[in-house]
A = this chain, B = another copy of it.
Amino acid sequence: MRLPNHIGIIPDGNRRWAENNGLTKEKGYKLGINPGLLLFKLCQKLGIKEITYYGFTTDNTKRPAKQKEAFTQACIDAVKLLSNEDAELLVLGNTESPCFPQELLPFTERKVFGKGGIKVNFLVNYGWEWDLNLSRKTNNKRKNLDLALQSKDISRIDLIIRWGGRRRLSGFLPIQSVYSDFFVIDDFWPDFKPQHIYDALDWYATQDITLGG
């Protein structure tokens, strides 16, 4: 079966899951941590070369403080769990903002954990405008033309899987996503199960990849 090299993960629906289960919205994020680790182990076993998790964005930080604290903590916990695995980890996001958690600063250059192998990128306080150097702050510092994306160490994405039913990219790595095949799962992220990945991979294998040619 033709497998994607690089899978993008948009783990949406934590708040809706919480509400459906009688919890306040911010309680949903914690329930998204284990699914992330399960998914990692599955991809590792399948031989996927790279995964990128959409942690949180600069747009998300406009949410109520309780939610912001909860999703930030969930990202910190998720990255720490992943650092116990065999993986080459990179946390990417705007570290110049106070919304970027100090605990994750040591992860902002790619590092090999355990025996390495699979590349794992985790977007934390990521913004597409920041990535493309379109934000004012970044631009004022640029003296010369700078082609490099902030996300230059993240490769083209073959398959994006989004949980929670929304059919949009929500600013997820616009350059790496230009030709990505996009698979949407209606279940909320905390209800992750391996079958979701098998379904996405089965579908992906049937897609005709032409890159416009």
Contacts and interface: CB of A to CB of B under 8 A. Distances in A.
Given A166-B207, A168-B179, A175-B174, A147 B134 contact: yes
Interface residues of A, number: 32
B170 A174 contact: no
A142 B209 CA distance: 34
Interface string A143-163: 001010000000000000000
Give the interface centre of A57, A139, A166, A208 by most chain B CB atoms within 10 Å. A166
A59 interface: yes
Nearest to A203: B167
A213 interface: yes
Interface stretch (A44-52, A93-101, A110-118, A180-188): A180-188
Q: Is the interface of A mostly helix, strand, loop or mixed?
A: loop
Interface string A27-64: 00000000000000000000000000000010110110
A213 B59 contact: yes
A132 interface: yes
Contacts of A62: 212-213
27 contacts: A59-B211, A59-B212, A60-B212, A60-B213, A62-B212, A62-B213, A128-B175, A132-B175, A134-B147, A139-B145, A142-B145, A145-B145, A166-B181, A167-B181, A167-B182, A168-B179, A168-B181, A168-B182, A169-B169, A169-B180, A169-B182, A170-B178, A170-B179, A170-B212, A171-B212, A174-B175, A182-B182
Interface of A: 57, 59-60, 62-63, 128, 132, 134, 139, 142, 145, 147, 166-171, 174-175, 177-183, 207-208, 211-213
